[in-house]
A and B are shown apart, each in its own frame.
Chain A
Amino acid sequence: MNKPKDSTGHKNSQELIIEGASCASCVAKIETALKRIDGVDNAQMNFALRTVVVDGEVDSEDLVQAIESIGYNARSAEDTSDDELLDEKEIADQKYYTSLMRKMWIALGLGVPLMIYSIAGGPMTVETTLERGIWLFIGLLCAAIMYFAGKHFYVGAWKSFVNHSANMDTLIALGTGTAWIYSMVVVFFPMAVPEMARHVYFEATAMIIGLIDLGLALEVKARGRTSEAIKRLIGLQAKTARVVRDKKEVDIAIEQVLLNDIVRVRPGEKIPVDGLVIEGHTSIDESMLTGEPMPVAKEEEDEIVAGTLNKTGSILFKATRVGKDTALAQIINMVKRAQNSKPPIGRLADAISAYFVPVVMIISIVSALVWLNFGPDPALAFAIVSATTVLIIACPCALGLATPMSVMVGVGKAAEAGVLIRNGEALQTASKITAMILDKTGTITEGSPTVTDILVADKSYTEKYILTIASSIESRSEHPLAQAIVDSAIAQEIDPEDISDFQAIAGHGIEAKLEDHHLLFGNQKLMFKKGVFLGEFVSKAQKLADEAKTPMYLAIDNKLAAIIAVSDPIKEDSIEAIKRLQSSGIRVVMLTGDNRATANAVAKKVGIKEVFAEVLPEDKSNKVAELQAQNEIVGMTGDGINDAPALALANVGFAIGTGTDVAIESADITLMRGSLHGLADAIAVSKATLRNIKQNLFGAFIYNVAGVPFAAGILYPFFGLLLSPVIAGAAMAFSSLTVVSNANRLRFFKPKEH
């Protein structure tokens, strides 16, 4: 088993998926190349499925290499999918649970009757020979139970001891071992022990093992629930796809779908891989990925993503991303990675855990010594009880589990709402954001502006002529508002004119030439700069801006020709979502390159008081720095493409996605839904998760800080209280279960929307 290749690489029969095999003659070529490899007995290719089955003792990597050397791509069909891994994990967990429960019954089968006997007042002491005989029998029974129900603790403890490390097993093994050995000493050599200390603790040993087994079993169950969100995501993957091969539609396993395959999806079916629609139209429910409840209409040339649900029409599409490259596979990967990453708040617990177990061992020895030196009679019995109880009650697991369990559930919960959190650090910082900068276009607004008004200043031009000139200029511009003018011209079937000497003046507009005419198209600043007289049109433009429209001036030969107003509608739920952000105490600031009057009008509509207007694209990150200099923890939300530097500089960068494009690398948090509610949800989830982590850490710290001294007997001199090792065992078993269960509470977290 130590040589992994023997267990996975060499097989008697294995299947490969071939890519790039386009004609039947490839079959012979591939088969021959494979058969030439030493160890291959036979190779048979299924051309329709593009798979090849190879018999013989040979490493799969050698096969892949041979196929690649003749110009095709190949991969093993037996790479275990996420789905199978998950099933295997569930089966393994279930088996582990069953075995722990069986061990628990064995241990409690002896422990509980003994416990009842001792509570009922039965003597647990060794005085007569008969008692010695009975206790010897019970002691041996207890040893058998330690072997059957607790072997894993002792083996684990020993192995880690040899390896110079110590863990929970060490504490349990030492604690129960001490109790048992002391009891056996009392049974065999009662004379060596003071009369009052001739007490046996077999019931403690059996009970502790049973209770901790029970705790572990319940923890396995509870832990299974923490990965519910990822299970749901993995479950979105379709198992088969209906692919057109050789002009026929065949159902094949999802792993066998190749790039550029033509795939058929009928109503009610899941989209199996990512692709582009080439025939038909339909509406697709993407809510499982983006959290967006409304189905999205799709027609030819539209992108569709794996895992979403086809609602109405039957479509054919071309596969553009398959296997591990689909958006869904990437989302799953990202969520998994983020779930396993640790926010800084967990570092203290990590630092402590390195010292925890040895420190507890030392405390246990010190406690025994104090009892022996200063304790009342029977000091030896007190010393043994306190040493054992200290070892048993201390729970490094609760401390270690506190952070990862909550992160696991919190990140999963966020993914359910269409919020992808990159790592634990982003999660933690998002919970502390004090100021949020929202980019206007595409974030607060739809990002799809339209022409609303054309005010002609020089009556010698028609509206159509104005639009012709404007769209001719704008067809060469990359400005976000330019598209609106071009679209408007296309809608009116206007053909653009040839313009020359095109020159973009950043932050102002455009200068160009049409035949002999000199053209200026841009904002007021541009007109002032070039000395164009605006007259009464200044106030007309102001009026448009007050209506949240963006006025643009067109001057022909330095004379104002017209004002074109473009407006970008505000997303319908922006107002509400911004209110949610503000009510959670966040200072919301709007950022835009648009003119001040329009920016103010938009801000007023959505209830934002602070505006950075007329900001050049390259200055966006300066505005982030400006707020950071005011000691704010700054979140920046933008589309992730134009705002990349600002997103990167912000304490947390949020990329507001258009659907399922997750390839936004500059963002700490990706919002797959266009709505700003996603942003408010992201912050709400991160706050809830951090609160949950703090509860867990606090609970685990307090438990250990209070429990260990109590177990050592610190209350005895004052109140005569000493903890029983059995109670300590129960407390320990349930402390880590409590942590996992508390983390699981996050599953029921619902952001307060609408």
Chain B
Amino acid sequence: MLIINLIGLGLIVLIVWWFWLYQAQSTQVSDEQDNSEITVVVEDGIYQPAHISLLENKALQINFVRKDASPCAATVLFPELEISADLPLNKTFAVQLPLLKKGEYAFHCQMKMYSGTLVVK
């Protein structure tokens, strides 16, 4: 019984570490160009890549390709930037971001099941 309890506790610790404490690697956008583009695939419950980092005051265009027919995936919001876009299925949809100041900007679907972050350095 002790072993089972320990396994259970171990699982809880793993969940806490895996979902909350782990620092995700972010995909770095080229910092040489003033105008960069990155493609984000919306499929199977995740944005890929979900963590994007770029430099301050560089323009970025995100090309969303939505492959998930579920209506959850249909809208992407950048709440801090007041941007929202309806993503057509199996098509590229470009979202042009304004020049950003340092900080973290979240983007997610309406229900936050899909979520990602922009890290501006």
Contacts and interface: CB of A to CB of B under 8 A. Distances in A.
A167 interface: yes
Q: Do most interface residues of chain B lie in helix, strand or loop, or is the interface mixed?
A: mixed
A92 interface: yes
Interface in A660-684: none
Contact of A336 (B8, B44, B86): B86
A340 B75 contact: yes
A223 B86 CA distance: 14
Given A96-B70, A336-B84, A423-B82, A168 B44 contact: no
Contacts of B112: 350, 353-354, 400
Contacts of B48: 163
Interface in B36-90: 39, 41, 43-46, 48, 50, 63, 65, 69-72, 74-75, 77, 79, 82, 84, 86, 88-89
A4 interface: yes
Contacts of A404: 110-111
Nearest to A340: B84
Given A157-B45, A337-B84, A401 B110 contact: yes
Nearest to A383: B4
Interface string B6-25: 00100110011011101010
A165 B74 contact: no
Residue with the highest number of chain A CB atoms closer than 10 Å, among B65, B71, B94: B71
Nearest to B94: A4
A355 B21 CA distance: 12
Given A336-B86, A400-B110, A160 B92 contact: no
Interface in A120-177: 152, 155-157, 159-161, 163-169
B69 A4 contact: no
A95 interface: yes
B18 A223 contact: no
Contact of A4 (B11, B65, B75, B82): B65
Nearest to A93: B71
A225 to B, nearest CB: 12
Given A1-B65, A95-B69, A362-B12, A8 B92 contact: yes
A158 to B, nearest CB: 8
Given A2-B39, A167-B113, A423-B82, A220 B71 contact: yes
A355 B115 CA distance: 13
Contacts, number: 134
Interface stretch (A63-71, A269-277, A316-324, A365-373): A365-373
Contacts of A373: 1, 5
Contact of B11 (A157, A354, A365, A399): A365
Given A156-B44, A159-B44, A404-B111, A340 B1 contact: no
Contacts of A365: 8, 11-12, 15
A88 B88 contact: yes
Contacts of A3: 39
Contacts of B45: 156-157, 159-160, 165, 167, 169
Nearest to A219: B71
Interface in A30-73: none
Contacts of B63: 4
Contacts of A355: 20
B94 to A, nearest CB: 8
B104 to A, nearest CB: 13
Given A96-B69, A167-B113, A365-B8, A160 B82 contact: no
Contacts of A165: 19, 45-46, 50, 115
Nearest to A95: B69
B74 A340 contact: no
B90 to A, nearest CB: 8
B111 A340 contact: no
A129 B14 CA distance: 39
A80 B94 CA distance: 13
A349 B92 CA distance: 30
A223 B113 CA distance: 17
A155 B72 CA distance: 16
Contacts of A223: 71
Nearest to A157: B45
Interface string B77-121: 101001010101101101000000000000000111111000000
B99 to A, nearest CB: 20
A89 B88 contact: yes
Nearest to A422: B82
Contacts of B79: 341-342
Contacts of A220: 71
A397 interface: yes
A294 interface: no
Nearest to A368: B8
A397 B113 contact: yes
B71 to A, nearest CB: 5
A2 B41 contact: yes
Nearest to A167: B113
A75 to B, nearest CB: 15
Nearest to B24: A164
A238 B115 CA distance: 37
Contacts of A399: 111
A554 interface: no
Contacts of B18: 161, 164
B42 to A, nearest CB: 11
A92 B112 CA distance: 22
B113 A362 contact: no
A725 interface: no
Nearest to A349: B112
A358 interface: yes
A265 to B, nearest CB: 31
A419 interface: no
A365 B8 CA distance: 6
A440 to B, nearest CB: 34
Contacts of A152: 44, 70
Contacts of A423: 82
A640 B14 CA distance: 57
A396 B113 contact: yes
A52 to B, nearest CB: 23
Given A169-B45, A342-B79, A7 B88 contact: no
A23 interface: no
A539 B92 CA distance: 74
Interface string A88-130: 1100110110010000000000000000000000000000000
B73 to A, nearest CB: 10
Contact of B70 (A80, A155, A159, A216): A216
Given A156-B46, A167-B45, 5 more contacts: A92-B89, A159-B46, A163-B48, A340-B110, A342-B79
18 contacts: A4-B63, A4-B94, A89-B74, A157-B45, A159-B43, A160-B44, A165-B45, A167-B45, A167-B113, A169-B45, A341-B84, A353-B111, A366-B12, A400-B110, A400-B112, A400-B113, A401-B111, A404-B111
Interface of B: 1, 4-5, 8, 11-12, 15-16, 18-20, 22, 24, 39, 41, 43-46, 48, 50, 63, 65, 69-72, 74-75, 77, 79, 82, 84, 86, 88-89, 91-92, 94, 110-115
Q: Give 9 nearest A-B pairs by CB, closest first.
A: A400-B111, A340-B84, A4-B92, A156-B45, A96-B69, A167-B113, A404-B110, A159-B44, A358-B19
